Amino acid sequence: MSEYFDPSEQETKELVPTNHTPESAYVPDTNGDPEGTEARAVKASIVMPDWWHRKFRLTDDGKPTFNPTVVAGVMAVFKEKFGTAPFFAEIDLGNGKTRTVEEQQIDWDMLVNRIVDGVQVLLGVDPQSTGLNILQLATRTWSEFCSVSYEYQESMSAMKDDEIPEWLLEREQKMLDLGRKARMLTQAIEALDNSFGLKDTKIHDYRVQNAVEQRMQRLAEWNFKQQADSSGKVERELNAQTTSHMRDILNNA
């Protein structure tokens, strides 16, 4: 071998890109985006229960928000339930007495007429505002009904015991009551249609979805405050404050 380096003496091969991406390629560039890296690290510093992540989610900067998958599930319930009539079945009252389907339908129509009569009293002044308020109430009620129905369905699917817990029975009753309320309001709006002076008095799915997302957002924030273990986040913030203090001392030394 010569004491001088001769490239021709070295074994060479053609450099071609590989099909495998090395793990190092996935490491975030902390120098290129320090603020973005710090914001994304906040999410990893917050610990939430598993059930919370099934219902909601965290943004990259650690803020609670609704879960789009859950919203889609709720809207699937809306598409299934909206436009359906209330369900009546013969009720056994005991002592040989029953409440027939026909009697329940008469009672239902009477209650809807009461809503119509009550709203008509309010239409003397600014009927458009009254109509919008009733439409908003119906929209929110449909969002609550479908949300509770979805939650009830999810809870029932996860049950392992034969006995239904008390809290789930309460959820069941709330679901039935909200379904009645939503259908009553919808039927009343149909009867009052021209009285509002509005071009459109329909319950639109995109408005129901907005109401569902707003409801889920409120629940995500409330449950986050109750359940969040942000000790890691607090520790990071304290460390950052300590570092900043030390930097100021050094600059003023």
Q: Which of the pair, 161 or 177, is modelled with greater confidence? A: 177
- From residue 7, alpha-carbon distances to 1, 12, 72, 98 in Å are 12, 9, 64, 102
Over residues 103-125, the mean pLDDT reads 95
- Give residue 15's pLDDT: 55
Q: What are 25-71's pLDDT values in tens digits?
A: 555 555 555 555 555 555 556 778 888 888 998 888 888 999 999 99
Count of C-beta atoms within a 10 Å radius of residue 146? 28
pLDDT at position 14 over 90: no
Q: What are 144-171's pLDDT values in tens digits?
A: 999 999 999 988 888 777 778 888 889 9
Nearest to 76 by CA among 214, 220, 209: 209
> Which of 63-67, 112-116, 184-188 has the least mean pLDDT?
63-67
Q: Is residue 37 a contact partner of residue 30, using CB atoms and an 8 Å limit?
A: yes
* Core vs surface per residue 102-128: b (16+ CB within 10 A) or e: eebeeebeeebeebbeebeeebeeebe
- Give residue 114's pLDDT: 97
Listed in sequence order, the residues at least 6 apart from 57 whose beta carbon sits closer than 8 Å to its beta carbon are 64, 65, 66, 67, 220
Which pLDDT band holds residue 179 (cuts at 50, 70, 90)?
very high
Q: Is residue 197 a contact partner of residue 131, using CB atoms and an 8 Å limit?
A: yes
pLDDT at position 228 over 70: no
pLDDT at position 105 over 80: yes
Bridge-partner residues for 98, per DSSP? 92
pLDDT at position 237 over 50: no
Which pLDDT band holds residue 142 (cuts at 50, 70, 90)?
very high
CA distance 118 to 185: 12
CA distance 55 to 223: 10
Q: Which of the pair, 247 or 92, is modelled with greater confidence? A: 92
Between 205-227 and 68-81, two packed helices, what is the crossing angle to 10 degrees?
A: 140
pLDDT at position 243 over 50: no
Q: What are 194-227's pLDDT values in tens digits?
A: 999 999 999 999 999 999 999 999 999 998 888 7
Cβ-based burial of 75 (10 A; exposed 0-12, middle 13-18, buried ≥19):
buried
- Give residue 235's pLDDT: 42
Phi, psi for residue 25 in degrees, rounded to 5: -70, -20
Where along the chain do its domains lie?
A: 79-224
